[in-house]
Amino acid sequence: MAENIKIINSTQEFDDMIKQNRYVLAEFWAEWCTPCRMVAPVIEKVAEQYSGKINVAKVDIDEQQELAIRYGIQTIPTIIFFKEGKFASKEIGVKPLASFARMIDSNIA
Amino acid sequence: MGDIVDIIIIGAGPAGLSAAVNAVTRGKTVRIFSNKENNLSKAERVDNHLGFYHASGKELMDKFKEHAKAMDIKIEEGMAVNILPLGESFMVNVNGEIFESKKVILAMGITKVKELPGEGRLLGNGVSYCATCDGMLYRGKNALVWDQSKDAWEEANFLQSIGVNVTFISKKPKQENLSNDIKFIEGTITEIIGENTVEAVNTGNDLIKTDAVFMLRDAVAPAALIDGLELDGNFINTNKHMETNIPGLYAAGDITGKPLQLSKAIGEGLIAAQHAALQIDKKENLNGRKY
């Protein structure tokens, strides 16, 4: 796993992460979700490609229900980009690398 | 996830089977998925397919299937839900199971998928096309399953079994297979209502409150199947090799547009499969390994 990917174990940990890092891409997923398994390697690549620029959080919605409710996760995978601790943009479902790159580029310019 | 195959073909009508036969002829491994009766088998008479004057669609389709079977091509039951291009390969989600291939050929025929008001806007916010993918998110909540395919009852039973409170709505009378715990309504849906998430559906004469709507059709519309696919109306755009704007992804048959004819579908299946096979060979020769 790329160095800038962090598995979130608590709400506090997530809040600290988006507070301490200017750009965070958070992937909301779950073990049983097939489309999430498709997106996982794409998120890995995104993390590598933007290493040093953004941080990536993986949030298991079964473990972190509070976060899932807070961000109104209704389908997974949902990928949310946070800028300076705030929601900036999101992508839902199975998307290729270019879609995530576009979302990130338009927010970190 | 199994081994990576050379070519995954979605659809087992004339275009899909022609692609499969030609891919196998070129020494490629294929998996071919289908989940519906194709349009050809419903044709009463076909008079313009060379060499088969006065044949019925069903006769022709049976012959095509026989041909494929004789070449050890096994048609697997399943509907593609998403396709993800990864550059050198593809991941294909078929009913919640992931398959990987080097190339993909779309040959699902024309998909008469008419989007309901509210559907596109609320997709991912209560509207779902895949019970096994999103079902767990609605445990303890109300979900409506709209029956539009022969397997919809199975998905409804699955949702109920994991703790979703399911209502099944169908034009047809209640099927025996549907679990008795599921509420059944005979009817249809005309609109999905909700501001940011699904709140209710309109059945034409009633509003039913619900947290989710599972739209289980026979096919997923091409635009929802793969992100960024270039379309022309309801049809998929291709070049002369039947390749779409996404490298390695091909389309053949009725799905690429008019004329919606058997001979054209068979020809396009052949072109797509041969080009896909050639690209695989070229790449593998460059990599210095051949099998």
Domains of chain A: 5-108 (3.40.30.10)
* Helical ranges in chain B per DSSP H: 14-25, 57-70, 119-122, 131-134, 152-161, 222-225, 262-286
Angle at B251 between CA B245 and CA B256, to 5 degrees: 95
C-beta atoms of B82 and A76 within 8 A: no
C-beta atoms of B82 and A96 within 8 A: no
Residues of A recognised as catalytic: 33, 36
Q: With contacts defined as CB-CB under 8 Å, which chain B residues touch A49?
A: none
**Shortest CA distance from A71: residue in chain B:** B125
Q: With contacts defined as CB-CB under 8 Å, which chain B residues touch A75?
A: 124-125, 128, 133-134, 137
What average pLDDT score do residues A53-62 get?
96
Residues 6+ apart with CB under 8 A from A6: A13, A17, A55, A56, A57, A58
- Is the entire prediction scored with pTM above 0.95? no
How many angstroms separate the Cα of A66 from the Cα of each of A62, A71, B27, B124, B250? 9, 9, 52, 19, 43
Task: Read off the amino acid at residue B17.
Answer: L
* Domain boundaries for CATH 3.50.50.60 within chain B: 5-112+220-286, 119-217
CB count within 10 Å of CB A40 equals 15
pLDDT at position B291: 45
B124 touches chain A (CB under 8 A): yes
pLDDT at position B38: 77
**Shortest CA distance from A72: residue in chain B:** B125
Under CATH, which architecture does the B5-112+220-286 domain have? 3-Layer(bba) Sandwich (3.50)
ipTM passes above 0.90: no
Q: With contacts defined as CB-CB under 8 Å, which chain A residues touch B132?
A: 34
Smallest Cα–Cα separation from B274: which of B56, B27, B12? B27
C-beta atoms of A96 and B227 within 8 A: yes
The span from the CA of A89 to the CA of A107, in Å, is: 8
**Shortest CA distance from A39: residue in chain B:** B84
Examine the pLDDT at A16 and tell me if it is beyond 80: yes
Of the candidates B85, B97, B197, the beta carbon closest to that of A96 is on B85
For residue A35, name the pLDDT band (cuts at 50, 70, 90).
Answer: confident
**Shortest CA distance from B90: residue in chain A:** A38
Task: Read off the amino acid at residue A86.
Answer: K
C-beta atoms of B93 and A34 within 8 A: yes
The span from the CA of A55 to the CA of A106, in Å, is: 16
The distance of B67 to chain A (nearest Cα, Å) reads: 34
The distance of A30 to chain B (nearest Cα, Å) reads: 9
Interface-testing mutation among B1, B83, B132, B136, with chain A (most A C-beta atoms within 10 A): B136
Structure tokens at B230: 């270039």
The CATH fold assigned to B119-217 is FAD/NAD(P)-binding domain (3.50.50)
**Shortest CA distance from B126: residue in chain A:** A74
C-beta atoms of A32 and B136 within 8 A: yes
The span from the CA of B48 to the CA of B58, in Å, is: 15
B101 touches chain A (CB under 8 A): no
A95 touches chain B (CB under 8 A): yes
C-beta atoms of B125 and A33 within 8 A: no
pLDDT at position B2: 61
C-beta atoms of A75 and B81 within 8 A: no
8 A C-beta contact, residue A33 and residue A76? yes
The span from the CA of B206 to the CA of B215, in Å, is: 18
pLDDT at position B129: 83
A35 touches chain B (CB under 8 A): yes
Ordered per-residue pLDDT tens for chain B, 291 residues = 568 999 999 999 999 999 999 999 999 999 999 987 778 888 888 889 999 998 999 999 999 999 999 999 999 998 898 899 988 899 999 987 889 999 999 999 986 667 889 998 898 889 988 887 788 889 999 999 999 888 899 999 999 999 999 999 999 998 889 999 999 999 999 999 999 899 999 999 899 999 999 988 877 778 788 988 999 888 999 999 999 999 999 999 999 999 999 999 999 999 999 999 999 999 988 776 544
What does the radius of gyration of chain B's CA atoms come to, in whole angstroms? Answer: 20
For residue A109, name the pLDDT band (cuts at 50, 70, 90).
Answer: confident
Burial of residue B248 (number of CB atoms within 10 Å: 0-12, 13-18, 19+): buried
C-beta atoms of A74 and B86 within 8 A: no
Q: With contacts defined as CB-CB under 8 Å, which chain A residues touch B82?
A: 35, 38, 93-94
